[in-house]
Amino acid sequence: MEIEETTSLLQNLYWITFLAVIVSSASGVLKAGLKQFDLFGVIIIAVATGLGGGSLRDLLLDREVFWINDQIFFIASLGSALSIFLIARFITIPPRYFLIADAAGLATFGIAGTLVALVMGAPALIASFMGVMTGTMGGIFRDVLCNEEPVVFHSPLYATVSWGGSLVFVGMVYLDVDITIAALIAGCGMFVSRMIAIYYDISLPKFRFKSG
């Protein structure tokens, strides 16, 4: 399926990506803060989180990397990192807020990644998985740099929520639902589902060897 690159569509994609970079970078800062990294370390983690997933997506789609093509996204990531770094010095930020920012980044980047892939002419299933990759890889880079097991591999319904929301988004696009409405419904669905999964500790079955 191919989507015509209209001005409205490109504007939607731009602002969804912009928001995704800000909230994902913020989640990186909060994770780095738990490790008590210095300012440079915080910035590196924030940039890796905010820009990593979209960079990998663009490389796989043979597309110019979005933040190299438009430096405003890099500036947004830096701005988010510095803002949270400074705010945290004056206001107590509970550690659980990391999960909220992370869920918001998962949802916004999931939609942005799916939409970019559709615009590039990727098949529906591949486009939805590009949404998953865009939404989760930044968090994987963040956790690896923080020397932790990536959240996506053991946390309640993480990538599952992203893929489900991306598939819903693709389905609504196929049904000619307005892109903005489809993005809001699917994105909010991802965010709320992730929060519910965390609250009730809903997880997929884990791999276990049968005991002898």
At 94 the pLDDT is 87
> Which residues, other chains included, contact 200 with Cβ-Cβ below 8 Å and sequence gap of 6+?
156
34-71 confidence digits (pLDDT tens): 999 999 999 999 999 999 999 999 999 999 999 999 99
Q: Is residue 140 a part of any domain in this protein?
A: yes
Per-residue pLDDT at 133 exceeds 70: yes
Structural domains of the chain, count: 1
- Res 2: pLDDT: 56
Per-residue confidence (pLDDT) for residue 4, from 0 to 100: 65
Q: Is 171 within a domain? A: yes
State which residues form the domain around 65.
Answer: 7-200
- Whether 136 is covered by a domain: the verdict is yes
Q: Flag whether 207 is in a domain.
A: no
138 found inside a domain: yes
The kind and range of the H/E element at 98 are: helix 97-119
Residues 6+ apart with CB under 8 A from 142: 27, 28, 31, 45, 48, 49, 52
Q: Is 211 contained in some domain?
A: no
φ, ψ of residue 178 to 5 degrees: the values are -50, 135
Name which residue leads in pLDDT, 118 or 10. Answer: 118
Residue 20 in contact with residue 105, Cβ under 8 Å?
yes
